[in-house]
Amino acid sequence: MQRIDLLLTDCRAATMVAGGEPYGAIEDAAVAIDGGRIVWIGPRADLPEFSPINTARLDGRWITPGLVDCHTHLVFGGDRIGEFEARLGGTTYEEIAKAGGGIRSSVAATRAADEAELIRRGRRRLANFVAEGVTTIEIKSGYGLDPEAELKMLRAARYLDGDVRVVTSFLGLHAVPKDQDRDAYVSQMIDEVLPRAAAEGLADIVDAYLEGIAFTPDEVSRLFDKAKALGLPVRLHADQLTDGGGAALAAKHGALSADHLEYTGQAGVEALAKAGTVAVLLPGAFVALAETQKPPVEALRAAGADMAVASDCNPGTSPLLSLRAAMHLACVQFKLTPEEAIAGATRNAAKALGLAAETGTLEVGKLADIAVWDIERPAELCYWLGGALLHKSWRAGRPIVTRN
């Protein structure tokens, strides 16, 4: 009889494995966990004989993979509440950015904060996601915009790795600092800061912002070529405000994902699907900016492109501390089905971070990243806007959240 660390019984499992039953559902399931990984999952009637050190009977609750938030800017200094008020008064995001606000206003506050302050504020924000079943979260730099501040952000993000898995992204090409030579800045980020981040093990992924108010295809391509030379995968903020060919560029470079995509055209959609690049939808920014141009969800669906959903938590354009709220908004604003939204925050989000082999579905061999919910149907995770639905969670078989 095989000795195992933990056996979960009396549960309903939304495995989120593609194909088969909706949600990959197993109505009366059991899960065997050992060494932090799933060693068996299936109908309880078929459960082999195990000798578990611990058993958790879940009283018929639903379990899912731990949620994955694949796009956040969680580490930053200050806030941008004044810009929120200005937008409510009719000022556009582009107008704010051109007047020296936007990303640049967060830069000053982030540079002024020491690493301990960034960690303290980041930990407080992160707690909101953990309480909602997130077991993996991505955190970008991009509010430092000079060598030491960018690396400081990445170190702070690394420090937050613990109860949840933190994936770090180097976003040096986020905005050009005020009064700095553009070419010199781009070269510094590519040739100096990125290699330092890689050498110090601070960056898992390299990201960039391709847009008329940000960086050009040529600049992004230079960054991506350097990232590949350093063995780092790439992602791209693409086509948020205009169709700048960002989706196609991301696909050309084999990017893990292209994110935002409100203005992506059919050629970009087809390129993403062909390349297997995940389309990451960010409804928090869409709502916060009062946008009207929606990402081409129907075209992405028809092309067979994988769609992820993320919070885009950031101080200016998506002050959203809830991945579940992003899932709800993806359904209401972008017309995803609840199953698509949950897949977008589990299976496809893991793929967008290059972690599909490790997490995102409940399958034998994968890490035991598991969330237990007080719900009667999986769709409730998207239906309720708020509410404490999480009962318990594990990351790699270790308990994170436990509620009575």
- Token match 């390349």: residue? 275
- Rounded distance, CA 161 to CA 164, Å? 6
Q: Return binding residues for N-formimidoyl-L-glutamate.
A: 143, 314, 316
Burial label for 102, CB within 10 Å (0-12, 13-18, 19+), is: buried
Q: Are 47 and 114 in contact, with CB atoms under 8 Å apart? A: no
Under 8 Å CB-to-CB from 127, ≥6 apart: which residues? none
Q: Are 373 and 356 in contact, with CB atoms under 8 Å apart? A: no
Both structure tokens of 143? 């509010």
Q: Return binding residues for 4-imidazolone-5-propanoate.
A: 80, 143, 174, 240, 317
Adjacent-strand bridge partners of 41: 31
In the three-class reduction of DSSP (H, G, I as helix; E, B as strand; rest coil), residue 263 is classed as coil
Look up residue 1 and give its DSSP letter: -
Number of C-beta neighbours around residue 45 at 10 A? 7
Q: Return binding residues for Zn(2+).
A: 71, 73, 237, 312
Q: Return binding residues.
A: 71, 73, 80, 143, 174, 237, 240, 312, 314, 316-317
H or E element in which residue 302 lies: helix 297-303
DSSP state string for 38-105: EEEEEEGGGPPPEEEEEEEEEEEEEEEEPEEE-------SS--HHHHHHHHTT--HHHHHHTT-THHH
- Rounded distance, CA 369 to CA 361, Å? 9
Adjacent-strand bridge partners of 350: none
- Rounded distance, CA 130 to CA 390, Å? 10
- Rounded distance, CA 5 to CA 53, Å? 5
Q: Return binding residues for Fe(3+).
A: 71, 73, 237, 312
